[in-house]
Structure 1
Amino acid sequence: MLLAVLAACVGGHRGPGEDCVEVECRAAWAAAHWPEAKRQVRDLVAAEQDPMGRARIVEAVFEAWPGEAEALCGLLSPGVTRERCETVHQRADLLRLDPDDPAAASSTGEAAWILAPSPTMRPVDLPPPVPVDCGPEVPERSCRWWTAGERAGAGQVGTAAAVCAGLADARWRGVCLVDVVRRTCTPETPEGCGMAVEPCVAAGPLRTPCLIEVSGALAATAPASESPDPNGWAALTSRLREVERRFQDIDPMLGEGFVQRTWAEATMLAYGQSRIPAGDPLDHVPAIAVPHVRAAIAWRQATQKMEGNLQARADAVGAAMLRRSQRTGARPMPRGRVRIAGYWAETLPGEEEFASIPYLQNARRAWSADPDVDRRLCVLEASARVIPLDLAMLVEGLGAEEVVVRWTAARLLSQLRPDHAALAHVRGDSDPRVRARAARR
């Protein structure tokens, strides 16, 4: 709306009118007309002799069109605004979240479920804004972004958050806080991840992506599953307890989801390159991590093309959990090598009755307190995420005695092969949740 109002006072697509003298007017014209007048906008920027004016115009365009105005970054001199311009275009998907849409604050799909806040979540108040100064050629928003990153890199997280607090726009304030977190919490500096909780929660529409960044950084510190050194698991456990403590006054339920998600990815990375999956981590991790170890072993075995029927595969998972490897020189899988697909983004009526936990990354799965049932659930989930799909395993799951096993098989198969003939046989299942999934297209 603001761009439209400001643009109304300027000329057509050939360029701003002669009365558009102030840089604010030229910047507004450029932002409003970039999509259909890119050449004219580039000419306008190139003709701007004042470094501050050029930076203001480019900033207005890349803020209005993140991911679509990268060509303008090269027209800026090396420095703060150019660096911010390039960074914005590297993370365009994150910036397209609508700050005026409350649902955007919890992202979408299974990540929204995993990191869903409770109705009683306490908002995190940012400290009062502090002034910044990057020189006359740097616009204030770009200056705040850069200054916040510098303060965060120096370990001054509170000051960095106060710098971000000076940004009035919710989206750019959130981006600023996410960048503070990225400088504070990395796999190389996991000791800073506890301090990242409050900035993430305060990041508004970017809360969930921010928490996933922190969770992933912690997960990446997990040792290889075959490593005989317990110190890596002890350090991760300790850091997650610190995170839980910080969530206690904000939202314990959100904190639990965060911890569960971190264990899910940590165990996936730990087992991602294991030669013969074994249960070594079980000697060092807390009880909350055990279902995730089970899921990671089943997934790794599936990638190794293990044979056998559903029960045999489940038994193999159990046997692996009892075995110990103690292999030296093992390495965890690097983060980002695989992306786990999610197949439970929508909760149909009655499905909330199934206990559920995160699965490997940002997916989720049903969980059973019965270890044998849970092993079969893990085998089914893994069978849906290998190439080629293990359709025979999913079809076998449709005939299981336990409702949760049949439902899991139906949920996965109906999304992966909705026309599979086996689904017709369970559309008359005794449980309405199984029937609903089997009929889902």
Structure 2
Amino acid sequence: MITYWLDYDWVPDSRTEKLMMEAFGRMVEERERGVAGYYHLPEDSKLLETEVKAWMASNPVLPRCDTIVLIGIGGSSLGTRAVDSMLRHGTENVKRFVFLENPDPVDISEKLSTIRKEKTLFIVVSKSGTTIETISLFKTVIDRFDLDLKGTDRSRVLVITDEGSPLCRFADDHELKAYTIPENVGGRFSVLSAVGIVPLTIAGYDTCGILQGASDMVTRFFERREKHIEKKAAFMATHWERYRMNVLFAYATFLEEFSGWYVHLWGESLGKIDAEGMHVGPTPIGRIGAVDQHSFLQLVMEGPRDKTVTFMKVVDFENDLKIPSLTLENIENADYINTHTFNELINAECDATLQSMVEKKIPVDLIALDRMTPANVGELIVYYELLTSMTGAMLDIDIYTQPGLERGKTILINKFEKDR
């Protein structure tokens, strides 16, 4: 179960209420017309999960594999990384992930040195099938491990891409197993498609539970039973010129990868030029408590009042590690926390920091997960996707494109073409 709480000291006026209704209607239309396919993924991917398990049972190399190397970048890997990080500590017998994403030669070399071919399944993920970082890393893996893609290693490589993409054609030519991404699902909204469900299922996670949690949230939202999403989106969309940043302050180290996924989803979707030529979109910032209480918090509390803050905590870490009942000479003033659990400490820090911001009248909201379960993870993913769509609809922008990225890609291609 997840609890949501808002403290914005703000009530939408009649004009904003009208905008909220129009934005909700736009999302209903997107869902019905198939403009954005992510609305249907929680149900559609249940069949996919069944198909993956059948493939796993017939794959001859998988019983010997304890590692999955996922080759992808951005939306092709961030969601899977986030789910793996959030659920790994509470899931038994899951396979190790190695994520090959960034074209950083030191990072690549270090990760490759940890991989044993005979113990590894390689998964290549690229929606377009031409992502330069991903294809370059795929070539490196083929060369480094001498992969025979027309023979003995065919069962060791799996492809996830768009139907008919160059990577899909490559897979067909080499008779590699391929799963496709729905055409109307963008990369940053794709974690509940084959992009995330296939590798997470193979790794041993309860993807059925993830999908059910997501499906339940989608149902409740379109039945207007999650009105807090509409109010939060309305505040973000109507106050972004004053509050130009939203800080996700997540109180668990294993939520750091989720923060990265949120920054990607929010930034690429909402950073746009609107119909009037105005550059819009609140900037997403991911921070981890309690670590960043000792740095970034000062800026929030006494710096420019241009930020909203979302607190995220896990009520029960299902870990009873305690602070020992020890008294250290000269630092006895720290004894007040003795015998309490670290679970109590980190959540008390979250609550105290939140209260201090409420007292300063900084707009805050809280997302409290009772535990870190597959269903809660699925709900959390869809919560942020719906919030992003609702905010974009109220800003009257197309959140499913990313034209700002294209010029850089063109310059990169021209540079290397010139050097050939």
- For the criterion TM > 0.5, the same-fold answer is no
Band the TM-score falls in, shorter-chain normalisation: under 0.3
| TM value normalised by structure 2 | 0.24
Say which structure, 1 or 2, has more relative contact order (CA 8 Å, 6+ apart): 2
Q: Greater strand share, 1 or 2?
A: 2
Larger Rg: 1
| TM value normalised by structure 1 | 0.24
